Amino acid sequence: MSSVEPFRKLVKLVARAFYDEEIPPKGANRSKSDKSDNRGIAVVILDALTRRQWVKEEDLARDLRLHPKQLRRTLRVLEEELLILREHRRETVKGAKIYNAAVAAVSEQPTEREGEEKPKVHTHSYCCLDYAQVYDIVRYRIHRSKKKIKDELEDRNTVQEYICPAASCGRRYSALDALRLINVYDGNFHCELCDAELVAESDKLAAAELGDGDGEDNARRRRREKLKELYDKLEKQLRPLMEQLARVKDLTPPDFGSLEAWEKKAIATGRLAGTDPSTSDLSKPSHGQGPTGTPMPFLGETKVEVALAGGDSKKEEEKEEAAQLKVLPPWMIRQGMNLTASQRGEITKQEVKGEDGVSPDGPDVKDVKPADEDKEEVQRKIQEEYLKAYYAALLQRQQQTEQQAAQPVTAETPVAATDDEEAGERQVGMKAKRDASDEVEGEEEDEEVEWEDATAAEPVDTTVASQDTSFTNGDVPDTAPDAGGEFDDDDVDWEEG
Amino acid sequence: MFFHIYLERNMQLHPRHFGPHLRDKLISKLIQDVEGTCSGRHGFVVAVTAVETIGQGLIRDGTGYVTFPMKYQCVVFRPFKGEILESVVTMVNKMGFFAEAGPVQIFVSNHLIPDDMVFQSGDVPSYETSDGSVRIQKDSEVRLKIVGTRVDATEIFCIGTIKDDFLGLIGNPGGGA
Ligand SMILES: [Zn+2]
């Protein structure tokens, strides 16, 4: 049901296809101390991220037994590659608490780190996979690499690209920018930013390896072969990835939203599920819904969670729950520190009641200890009594009317009339349905038919017996669509003729 | 490619031109305004051939200028990808050469110049074959094919190739073949 699994697999495949090697950090700011071998680390990190949603980078480093610096370096690269989202925020105690609550709500074994955490005021970084982006990025990447080989293979007239050789710049230009790039003094192309002379990008994939061959024709043929080989290899090696891409094509990628949104949602869903521990598979509802709250078609009903986030709504919720006399989980009370004392007292009292095993509603409670009850409870009782009385009265009246209806046997006409009406109503409903399906045929014609129908049916209704009416009524609409079609045809013929 | 199309334009005229020659003034101003301009949508306006209608003038609040909606017919030139053009070389450098076909500027990068033509720097930079029989330099006439266009709102720039059959040098500077 959940669309997460295919996307997780996609990320894993991507990791192995493109990030298995040592990742060269982009830009020239690579220091000499970076010599450490980080082969495959990206794969490990990406895999770990598929099992998490938003995660604090410190926690991730600890889980993976990685040095935070090393982790951060790789994450930065992955961020540049647009695979992951990162957020940095100056951590307050409150923020850390929210995050911990969210993690506790989402993780499968929630109790693990609740006590140990002592949040300090620091800037913390969080990261999360961006599945939707990954999907797009990978497709683009494959498209680009294929196009590059293909273009060269077919010797198509590609647009030459130029690169700024300056290490700090590295800007790319295309031949379409040529007019802007000419330097008036030497007539060559210069970078717009740093004024370095641009070099043409050598995208000849095969030429570099082949050297100057024997005879131009021969070299050309060999180059083509080489390119073809390269292309086939690309196709073959990327096939699993491409298949996975095709598989996730129509699925909605899991979207956790921004860190803040995710936390709110995770806590909210955690709270909902917390009342019933058996349904603790939290990841599914949270995946099913994007940050904007657009529900997926098959997980429509999870819209409750948004309202629970703020403090005010929390209070309201608890009031509501108090009214329903639900047993509140202990952590919930701890969460709602901003409760008024009376509310908390109320809740605990009710909880005690519930735990005693006394059924909270019904006359028992009233009989046992009526003095204990506070005003609300009393009011509720009164309402209940009133309702009971009301229903009793209602029942009585109903019985009376039934008796009345049974007594005069001779009064057939009203009964027939109601029958008639019912038949008519049903007929109308049917017709409406038919109209809806016939809308394609042009609405004006249909309306006309209905008109005729109605006028034809009305006199029949009054004169003929109820069964007959329903029969004719049932008959006429059957022909109605046909008639409509005929009208339609006639119209067209007329216009054409 | 050339097109003969209808275009519309609102012309503003200063009240001092109001008089018996108002219409002529409008037309000459229109020609002055639009000929030689370029729009990404229609291409370069080469020439106004006819003025179809001149609508009711509308006095603009505050200025006294009057706006006339005009509909006119004109020849436009819009280059397309794949189109073959004949052009005159304007500049040669080691990255390739620039050429002009009427108002359009075209750049031919060196990898779209046949492999047997190499860049020769010097007083007159050029691309020439090893035997010197073909030589492309400034003011040479070249037939090329457009392989890419960059269309902005007010500008069209093309890149071309001469790496195909029947493309390349068609005339030397000074008119010699
Ligand atoms: Zn630069």
| CATH number for B154 | 2.40.50.140
Domain boundary among B31, B61, B77: B77
Task: Return residues with CB closer than 5 A to ligand 1 (ion).
Answer: A 164, 166, 169, 171, 191, 193-194
Domain of B6?
A: 2-77
Q: Tell which of B104, B109, B121 to mutate to test the A interface (max A CBs under 10 Å).
A: B109
Tens-of-pLDDT digits for all 177 residues of chain B?
A: 999 999 999 999 999 999 999 999 999 999 999 999 998 889 999 999 999 999 999 999 888 899 999 999 999 999 999 999 999 999 999 889 999 998 899 999 988 899 889 999 888 999 999 998 999 999 999 999 999 999 888 889 999 999 888 999 998 887 655
B125, B159, B161 ranked by CB distance to A176: nearest: B159
Residue A448 corresponds to which amino acid? E
Are B122 and B142 in the same domain?
A: yes
Are B70 and B89 in the same domain?
A: no
Are B94 and B48 in the same domain?
A: no
Q: Residue A436 to residues A305, A411, A430, A433, A481: CA-CA distances in angstroms? A: 37, 39, 10, 5, 11
pLDDT higher at A193 or A480 = A193
What are the tens digits of pLDDT across the range A217-275?
566 677 778 888 888 888 898 898 988 898 888 888 888 888 888 888 888 877 665 44
Are B41 and B108 in the same domain?
A: no
| Chain B hits for A187, Cβ within 8 Å | 91, 93, 125
DSSP state of A197: B
| Chain B hits for A212, Cβ within 8 Å | none
Q: How far is residue B30's CA from residue A490's CA, in Å, rounded to a whole number?
A: 53
Tokens of A30: 């690579």
The CATH code belonging to domain A4-130+253-269 is 1.10.10
DSSP H/E element including B93: strand B84-93
Are B88 and B159 in the same domain?
A: yes
Are B60 and B10 in the same domain?
A: yes
Q: Which residue has the tokens 């995660």?
A: A55
Among A227, A221, A224, A178, smallest CA distance to A198 is for A178
Q: How far is residue A19's CA from residue B122's CA, in Å, rounded to a whole number?
A: 48
Angle of CA points A101, A107, A109, to nearest 5°: 105
Domain boundary among B77, B109, B138: B77
Per-residue pLDDT at A254: 82
Are B70 and B95 in the same domain?
A: no
Classify residue B163: in a domain, yes or no.
yes
**Furthest CA-CA distance within chain B:** 71
Among B86, B87, B89, B85, smallest CA distance to B98 is for B89
| Closest residue in chain A to residue B164, using alpha carbons only | A157
Are B98 and B144 in the same domain?
A: yes
Q: How far is residue A315's CA from residue B85's CA, in Å, rounded to a whole number?
A: 76
pLDDT higher at A376 or A354 = A376
Residue B104 corresponds to which amino acid? V
Per-residue pLDDT at B125: 92
Rounded to 10°, the helix A68-80/A57-64 angle is 120
Sheet holding A55-56, edge to edge: A55-56, A123-129, A84-90
What's the total number of domains in chain B?
2
ipTM of the predicted structure? 0.79
Are B73 and B98 in the same domain?
A: no
Distance from the Cα of B151 to chain A's closest Cα (Å) equals 10
B93 with A159: Cβ contact below 8 A? no
First to last CA, chain A: 57
A159, A188, A189 ranked by CB distance to B148: nearest: A159
DSSP H/E element including A445: helix A443-463
Classify residue B55: in a domain, yes or no.
yes
DSSP state of B169: E
Per-residue pLDDT at A360: 44
| Closest residue in chain A to residue B145, using alpha carbons only | A157
Classify residue B177: in a domain, yes or no.
no
Question: Has domain A139-248 been given CATH number 3.40.50.450?
Answer: no
Are B47 and B101 in the same domain?
A: no
Q: Residue B161 to residues A40, A98, B77, B85, B89: CA-CA distances in angstroms? A: 44, 62, 20, 10, 13
A157, A178, A189 ranked by CB distance to B161: nearest: A157
Per-residue pLDDT at A355: 43
Strands (E), A91-208: 123-129, 161-163, 172-174, 199-200
DSSP H/E element including A261: helix A259-274
In chain B, which among 19-58 make CB contacts under 8 A with chain A? none
What are the tens digits of pLDDT across the range B33-53?
999 999 888 999 999 999 999
Classify residue B176: in a domain, yes or no.
no
Q: How far is residue A58's CA from residue A68's CA, in Å, rounded to a whole number?
A: 6
B145, B159, B163 ranked by CB distance to A175: nearest: B159
Are B120 and B159 in the same domain?
A: yes
Classify residue B30: in a domain, yes or no.
yes
Tokens of A102: 């969210």
Residue B72 falls in which region: left (phi positive, over 0), alpha (psi -120 to 50) or beta: beta
The phi, psi pair for B85, rounded to 5°, reads: -130, 155
Contact B1, B76 (CB under 8 A): no
Half-sphere exposure of A330 (CA within 13 A, CB side): 1
Spans of all domains in chain A:
4-130+253-269, 139-248, 288-394, 407-492
The phi, psi pair for A2, rounded to 5°, reads: -75, 145
Q: What is the CATH number of the domain that holds B60?
A: 3.30.1490.120
Are B89 and B167 in the same domain?
A: yes
Among A459, A445, A454, A448, smallest CA distance to A476 is for A454
Domain boundary among B39, B59, B77: B77
